[in-house]
Chains A and B, each alone.
Chain A
């Protein structure tokens, strides 16, 4: 298969073949991180900018490590150091960055569609590192990669996504990706956090977490997004933890080899208990490890192949 896209803006614009192509490409990059010398010259001479309008540790670091292991030069710009706080518009920032001829810009933004706007303005590749409640494509790709790695395949699985689906870009991207496969996707959470019409995306709604997790192959926990006003949708985090916090008793209802995922950062004791987060079913740190490999593959596909 030939990769023809300039940008990675969302999973919703990828075909099943494109998703599988990225996952297959990831295999070879995973080995690099396990070597003694973790660097290959694939992106030598390329410039990758991370432009983050929202705080991030994992995603930004993961992209930076991915780019560096491929020998690209990386520059990190975050909102608190950028002209954004001086009132520069995204359009002007984009044009200025473009003038410095970067090869790829990874943007994270609080507002949906910001990466799409950037991609319309500039010629370099744009990767969506999370835009508001819209999409977080590389997170979904690393999640699928991790599921496939642990389960051997993506078809025939029951996947339960728990939490604030309405405000979650991780949930959206994962649903868009997983529905290409023969999966049963169940969304669980308080009714205020499950958006209306969600069934039209091909997923089931089950408010009762105890029922939702029955026979699950994968349980994907989402973070309560305090910074997005997420707490106004529930009476208290304590009550949330009682009703929707993932505990050992839930694991017992799921399949024996169930895996527990979380995109991080975790609110321990709220959406996930310590014993589950650190328990034998947890693949949370594998997700982080795979994130680097998936992002290497994405960078390679978007800007690495003509050289």
Chain B
């Protein structure tokens, strides 16, 4: 079975393509990328992408799929359906499931479950320490054999610097990057950012330095042992400054941020809406502007979702005891396109942060559209306006602070390994 996508504007930063190209897909792989492909056959499926953008499928290096253990929040099936709808063809799930992904049987379970039920490709991130307790190393080599692509104790920092050092050294054996969740526990006692809003609403608050101290520490450690370090969901101006400065003298540092950190500030928490509770917390206007500037000048390499779905009962409680997190797959693209509409990023730069950059970090063969490569691609429109309605989310997690927001830009079709896994039937016929 062949598919021909014609008429669209292809933007593929990895292969330095930007222009009107047709794409011919044969079974699971790209057969040809060229101007005006004339392929005549009765069985070929033709997709008209006129007026739309074609890009390599997006890669999300930071998501929570909740399976095994928290299937009432999300499953691999619903999570990947939501991801596919959002334009992601490859997602990396964090280890904080139950049981924790700290051994090869959990890694294998996720892999097999994703293979049979997943709408898109799922790769997993193994825990740095057993049970995420920060006390002893997980069986990193065995998990590597089972397919993990990175290591992280996401949800907390590895408090013991000596142990983190060992993890960084040991993971070099497999070229696995360590992904750091940066948060000093002793300073991060709060539920919101320590700033003007916490002063007013009286919620216990966490200062920016809780993140920055660990950003500084983890980069210093990585540099000392010459390991790769990736700092995830960066949220403060100080972190951007530290990372920008460090990158000049040490090349193995990368970082990501999430759409909510360049869209919302701590002001959103003033009404005690628990959908605005996220970790790290929504920061100040100054931080938001620094994050946007970091994206613009390239200090921030990647945009990740930190998709963190929750069932309504864990959000329908007092702010202090509500779960942290935002269901992010289905709004990430449109929120990020705002950066393009606001002239912070070019469309090409935005696509880089969702495709080639994450692929490079994790040594993945995806993130580009070229003959012979897996046919992972998306078709999206940058101008279509739509209103976020959490009830239409494919994710089980309806926890979004963006419900009712009018956004511009929408994913219309997602193809993974040559298979169309999501299609906006109104916009894309065929």
**Residues of A near any B CB (own CB < 8 A):** 12, 89-91, 109, 111-114, 116-117, 131-135, 169, 172, 195-198, 200-201
Cβ-defined contact, B318 with A109, below 8 A: yes
9-residue interface stretch from B137-145, B195-203, B376-384:
B195-203
Complex Cα distance A200/B204, Å?
18
Cβ-defined contact, A196 with B317, below 8 A: no
Which of B194, B196, B271, B316 has a CB less than 8 Å from the CB of A116?
Answer: B271
Complex Cα distance A196/B320, Å?
21
Cβ-defined contact, A117 with B272, below 8 A: yes
Number of interface residues of B (CB under 8 A): 20
Which of A113, A135, A172, A196 has a CB less than 8 Å from the CB of B318?
Answer: A113
Cβ-defined contact, A111 with B313, below 8 A: no
Sampled A-B contacts (25; CB under 8 Å): A12-B200, A89-B317, A90-B318, A111-B318, A111-B320, A111-B321, A112-B202, A112-B272, A112-B320, A113-B203, A113-B319, A116-B271, A116-B272, A117-B319, A132-B202, A132-B203, A133-B202, A133-B204, A134-B201, A196-B194, A196-B195, A197-B195, A200-B196, A200-B199, A201-B199
**Which residue of chain A lies nearest to B272 when distances are taken between CB atoms in the complex?**
A113
Given A113-B201, A133-B203, 6 more A-B residue pairs with CB atoms under 8 Å apart are A112-B202, A114-B318, A133-B202, A169-B202, A197-B199, A200-B199
Complex Cα distance A271/B317, Å?
35
Q: Please report the number of residue pairs spanning A and B whose Cβ atoms sit closer than 8 angstroms.
A: 59
List A contacts of B198 (CB < 8 A): 195
List A contacts of B318 (CB < 8 A): 90, 109, 111, 113-114, 117
Complex Cα distance A1/B318, Å?
34
Chain B 275-319, CB-CB to A under 8 Å as 1, else 0, gives 000000000000000000000000000000000000001001111
List B contacts of A89 (CB < 8 A): 313, 316-317
List B contacts of A91 (CB < 8 A): 316-317
Complex Cα distance A165/B320, Å?
20
List A contacts of B202 (CB < 8 A): 112, 131-135, 169, 172
Complex Cα distance A173/B391, Å?
38
| Closest beta carbon of chain B to A192's beta carbon, Å | 13
Complex Cα distance A29/B284, Å?
44
List B contacts of A111 (CB < 8 A): 318-321
List A contacts of B271 (CB < 8 A): 116
Cβ-defined contact, B195 with A134, below 8 A: no
Complex Cα distance A198/B196, Å?
8
Which of B194, B202, B313, B320 counts the most A-chain CB atoms under 10 A from its CB?
B202
Complex Cα distance A92/B203, Å?
23
Complex Cα distance A201/B203, Å?
16
List B contacts of A133 (CB < 8 A): 202-204
List B contacts of A131 (CB < 8 A): 202
List A contacts of B204 (CB < 8 A): 133
| Closest beta carbon of chain B to A215's beta carbon, Å | 27
Contacting residues of chain B (172-204) with chain A, CB-CB under 8 angstroms: 194-196, 198-204
Complex Cα distance A241/B350, Å?
58
Complex Cα distance A197/B272, Å?
20
Complex Cα distance A198/B203, Å?
15
- Known interface pairs A117-B272, A196-B194; A112-B203 also in contact (CB < 8 Å): yes
| Closest beta carbon of chain A to B199's beta carbon, Å | 5
List B contacts of A116 (CB < 8 A): 271-272
Complex Cα distance A133/B201, Å?
8
List B contacts of A117 (CB < 8 A): 272, 317-319
Which of A12, A90, A169 has a CB less than 8 Å from the CB of B317?
Answer: A90
